[in-house]
Amino acid sequence: MSLDAILKRIDTDLPQALERLKQFMRIASISTDPAYDAQCEAAADWLVADLQSLGIAAEKRATPGQPMVVGHVAGNGPHLLFYGHYDVQPVDPLELWDTDPFDPQIEETAQGRVIRGRGAADDKGQLMTFVEACRACKAETGTLPCSITLFFEGEEESGSPSLIPFLKENAQELRADIALICDTSMVSPGVPSIASQLRGMLKEEFTLQGPRVDLHSGHYGGPALNPLREISRIITSFHDDTGRVAVEGFYEGVDEVPEDQLRQWENCGFDEQAYLGAVGMTRPHGEIGYSALVQQWARPTLEINGLWGGYQGAGTKTVIPAQAHCKLTCRLVGDMDPSAVRARLRAHVEARVPVDARIIWNNDLDGSPAAVMNTDRPEFDLARAALSDEWHREAVLAGMGGSIPIAGYFKEILGLDSMLIGFGHDDDAIHSPNEKYNVESFHKGARSWARILHSLARG
Amino acid sequence: MSLDAILKRIDTDLPQALERLKQFMRIASISTDPAYDAQCEAAADWLVADLQSLGIAAEKRATPGQPMVVGHVAGNGPHLLFYGHYDVQPVDPLELWDTDPFDPQIEETAQGRVIRGRGAADDKGQLMTFVEACRACKAETGTLPCSITLFFEGEEESGSPSLIPFLKENAQELRADIALICDTSMVSPGVPSIASQLRGMLKEEFTLQGPRVDLHSGHYGGPALNPLREISRIITSFHDDTGRVAVEGFYEGVDEVPEDQLRQWENCGFDEQAYLGAVGMTRPHGEIGYSALVQQWARPTLEINGLWGGYQGAGTKTVIPAQAHCKLTCRLVGDMDPSAVRARLRAHVEARVPVDARIIWNNDLDGSPAAVMNTDRPEFDLARAALSDEWHREAVLAGMGGSIPIAGYFKEILGLDSMLIGFGHDDDAIHSPNEKYNVESFHKGARSWARILHSLARG
């Protein structure tokens, strides 16, 4: 049977597959910083070349931002659109990395071998699990079991500004039966997981402008409005003492998780103490009365992602700065409307601005609603069975705390349902120093996709 | 009469004096950043050479930090120790400067001519008023009317770590009858001012450590403790709704300003609306119930000078950072004890640290108590009269909001009283972008010192 041969080939090819991933990860494709534009181009070129080496007709497509990569393989069976992103997060604070983020290393750890470096998990390692599955199919059978369109973007970490126009302009070309996305984690190590719901996201950034100029705290300390103190007060006002967001109307569109869903989640293998303990926490710090799992999957948040003002260098500077700055994101669930949340958040802030200060909003940041997957489609059962075979453990339908707006765009623009399957671990440190991806995730991820393709082809 | 000739010489020499000040200001002597150590050396060398050109025996003295400059001129009359500092504040944020901070320019403004650049007022321009007065005396009379020791340090903006050991080791050499310090402002433009009291200062810096590593706000947003939110909450807790510092016991040692002192201050020419309006404020923002003047001169403060954590770059990064950082200073008045305030402040913070977080204190920062001048000394009346003659306006004894710990060290180590006379304006933007010093301050400052030397010599 050809599936066994394909799986066997994935096993024997693993050292070469890891070398290919290392090559890919050496390209510093940080999309949010224009200084790395050439590296983003290089990462797209690397993907095109790698797909072409498999005999897949792939090309780089220019956009006003980072290029897209699109490849097609005609075949029998259903038509699948596979999505991933080749861009990565910034690496600051660089001093907290134990190795060069762009010189990936294979390391032995207590949890097995890992590949360490920026993009290992998010998303280069994950997207390559699918490419490696395709490579093994082609090598072993000369073809793929399904029609496949591969679609990679390079702006996922910078808000995907070119994505919607590109989808609209190329809707015909990108049409398929279902989209597959590999950019998520497993609920718990070794528990294969398919996303049933994703949180949405609203991005905001504001500056509190106080005095006309930076002031000397001897000359003006006392009478002067201090923007750092005022922005702290505003940030503190965002939550009440129970951890609930105190912005009026914030929870509009949020429903409690149904009892049967809660019971399912309780049995999905999520280990709260391990999840918290991995990052040095002993208890969940979100809304009182909800488990860590529910706080992460089914409750909205308002998180400060960046806060700064005044002097940050060595020693002391007796300054009262003119400005303080804040970046924040809200994770959205249920039917929360990003625009409505933005309006309520801004009203909350504006109502708390003192005399002699004003707020300057960044109006270039977007938002996307939460998404619920169409898990009644037959592909979900087929994929669950394939995953269960590979991992020797029943695959689960899990909530996800992250926001992957692409699923919403695929539905809206291409009319496509999405199935999100990923092999990340909670301790992968994506978006953080020392990002890694377990070699087991990479290896069994590729095997999982081979099984899923085989299974979807047979229907 | 020689005083007139000296004043006349200061007038005619003004263009050359401004050129000398520009030369001095071109040296980027930022003491707080080791990258500028060579520039601090260069500034000290420049001063030594300038004093030697006046026939003053001056030399640079090595310390473990930036060098001191000491010069002596024997003469008749009382022995004066003049103090100033040649180091300057950092220049960030550089993008807010309209000109190169180290390429000083003379500009015409609505308030007359100014010299713009880092150190114009703090303290290069101010200390040069005294040097220029000495130059004119020497040029006109071949001597100085008093015995003078000139003493310049290069660490005033970085906490003066070498100062106390240097004073102790050189106490004999630095002995004098009284110290003169030129590093303060006038109460109001054109109102010559002698400091009657200065606030002390306590410096603190802490890091709030939360999660073990930076976290992804999708994977951990909700359950994760967010250090930016927690540090904001702690900062907010520092003040109550009336603007009063809410740290228990903070006001121990603080007395209300006596009625007669208050009345004096009300008539000292301080223009609250102009003072506030100059920096874009319409009302004082300190403790309710106190005027801006009292808030600045006679009330203690707790000011956040720096606050940072998370992502500060362009775009969005969905991070929950592991750490948040805060720099703060307290201005102290009356008998407040810096060590006691530090202990109370730390207890206040520690009591508010949530489970799963901890505070890391910077233990290298110092503090100094407030200082009250000995205004009964006859030199104060002589200087007031000399200043009143120069400025055609009665000189005032004024409180000062700043902290100049040197006056306390002179008293403690050398047994010396200090008289602080300065010609800065509230809008000089010291410690800020676009620092300037009015040419009138520079010019009439030098003339003021010539008059004061003349008057102190005659007794």
pLDDT at B159: 83
Indicate if the pLDDT at residue B1 is higher than 60: no
Indicate if the pLDDT at residue B307 is higher than 90: yes
Mean pLDDT, chain A, as a whole number?
Answer: 95
pLDDT at B314: 87
User: Is B255 near chain A, with CB under 8 Å?
Assistant: no
Strand partners of residue B57: B72
What ipTM did this prediction achieve?
0.80
Q: Do A315 and B226 touch (CB under 8 A)?
A: no
Separation of alpha carbons A436 and A119, rounded Å: 8
- Please tell us whether the domain made up of B200-254+300-368 is placed in CATH 3.30.70.360: yes
Q: Which two tokens stand for residue A360?
A: 């300057």
Report residue A292's pLDDT band, with 50, 70 and 90 as the boundaries.
very high
pLDDT at A75: 83
Strand partners of residue B425: none
Higher pLDDT pick, A397 / A28: A28
Q: Do B303 and A221 touch (CB under 8 A)?
A: yes
Mean predicted confidence (pLDDT) in A343-370: 96
User: Is A142 near chain B, with CB under 8 Å?
Assistant: no
Interface of A with B in 182-211 (CB under 8 A): 185, 199, 201, 203, 205, 210-211
Quick: pLDDT tens for B4-45.
Answer: 999 999 999 999 999 999 999 999 999 999 999 999 999 999
Three-class HEC string of chain A:
CHHHHHHHHHHHCHHHHHHHHHHHHCCCCECCCHHHHHHHHHHHHHHHHHHHHCCCEEEEECCCCCCEEEEEECCCCCEEEEEEECCECCCCCHHHCCCCCCCCEEEEECCEEEEECCCCCCCHHHHHHHHHHHHHHHHHHCCCCCEEEEEEECCHHHCCCCHHHHHHHCHHHHCCCEEEECCCECCECCECEEEEEECEEEEEEEEEECCCCCEECCCCCCCCCCHHHHHHHHHHCCECCCCCECCCCCCCCCCCCCHHHHHHHHCCCCCHHHHHHCCCCCCCCCCCCCCHHHHHHCCCEEEEEEEEEECCCCCCCCEECCEEEEEEEEEECCCCCHHHHHHHHHHHHHCCCCCCCEEEECCCCCEECCEECCCCCHHHHHHHHHHHHHHCCCCEEEEECCCCCHHHHHHHHHCCCEEEEECECHHHCCCCCCCEEEHHHHHHHHHHHHHHHHHHHHC
Quick: pLDDT tens for A371-399.
Answer: 989 999 999 999 999 999 999 999 998 98
Q: Do A220 and B401 touch (CB under 8 A)?
A: yes
Quick: pLDDT tens for B252-306.
Answer: 999 999 898 898 888 888 899 999 998 999 999 999 999 999 999 999 999 999 9
User: Is B230 near chain A, with CB under 8 Å?
Assistant: no
Lowest mean pLDDT among A103-117, A165-179, A312-326, B395-409: B395-409
Domain map (residue ranges) of chain B: 2-198+370-458, 200-254+300-368
Mean predicted confidence (pLDDT) in B202-225: 95
User: Is B261 near chain A, with CB under 8 Å?
Assistant: no
Higher pLDDT pick, B158 / B352: B352
Q: Which two tokens stand for residue A302?
A: 């308002």
Mean pLDDT, chain B, as a whole number?
Answer: 95
Report residue B75's pLDDT band, with 50, 70 and 90 as the boundaries.
confident
Higher pLDDT pick, B15 / B2: B15
Which superfamily does B2-198+370-458 belong to? Zn peptidases (3.40.630.10)
User: Does pTM surpass 0.90?
Assistant: no
Query: Which of B320, B356, B365 is closest, CB to CB, to A282?
Result: B356
Report residue B395's pLDDT band, with 50, 70 and 90 as the boundaries.
very high
Out of 3.40.718.10, 3.40.720.10, 1.25.40.20, 3.30.70.360, select the CATH number for domain A201-254+300-368. 3.30.70.360
Mean predicted confidence (pLDDT) in A43-70: 97
Query: Which of B222, B331, B434 is closest, CB to CB, to A218?
Result: B331
Interface of B with A in 41-70 (CB under 8 A): none
Number of residues assigned to chain A: 459
Q: What percent of chain B has pLDDT over 90?
A: 86
Using a CB-CB distance cutoff of 8 angstroms, which residues of chain A are in contact with residue B429?
213-214
pLDDT at B403: 84
User: Is B240 near chain A, with CB under 8 Å?
Assistant: no
Separation of alpha carbons A134 and B290, rounded Å: 75
User: Is B283 near chain A, with CB under 8 Å?
Assistant: yes
Shortest distance between the Cα of B133 and any Cα of chain A, in A, equals 27
Indicate if the pLDDT at residue A208 is higher than 80: yes
Quick: pLDDT tens for B172-197.
Answer: 999 999 999 999 999 888 999 999 89
Question: Could you check whether the bond before residue B123 is cis, i.e. omega within 30 degrees of 0?
Answer: yes
- In a mutational test of the B interface, the residue from A279, A297, A301 whose CB has the highest number of chain B CBs within 10 Å is A279
Q: Do A215 and B432 touch (CB under 8 A)?
A: yes
pLDDT at A219: 85
Using a CB-CB distance cutoff of 8 angstroms, which residues of chain A are in contact with residue B279?
211-213, 215, 220, 224
pLDDT at A299: 96
pLDDT at A93: 87
Lowest mean pLDDT among A97-111, A373-387, B392-406: B392-406
Q: Do B285 and A239 touch (CB under 8 A)?
A: no
Shortest distance between the Cα of A183 and any Cα of chain B, in A, equals 12
Indicate if the pLDDT at residue A1 is higher than 80: no
Q: Distance between terminal CA atoms of chain B?
A: 17
Shortest distance between the Cα of B432 and any Cα of chain A, in A, equals 5
Contact A125, A437 (CB under 8 A): yes
Separation of alpha carbons B143 and A193, rounded Å: 90
Separation of alpha carbons A71 and A173, rounded Å: 10
- In a mutational test of the B interface, the residue from A318, A329, A356 whose CB has the highest number of chain B CBs within 10 Å is A318
pLDDT at A426: 83
Report residue A344's pLDDT band, with 50, 70 and 90 as the boundaries.
very high
Report residue B219's pLDDT band, with 50, 70 and 90 as the boundaries.
confident
Shortest distance between the Cα of A90 and any Cα of chain B, in A, equals 8
Pairing of strands B396-400, B436-438: unpaired
Chain A to chain B, count of Cβ pairs less than 8 Å apart?
A: 336
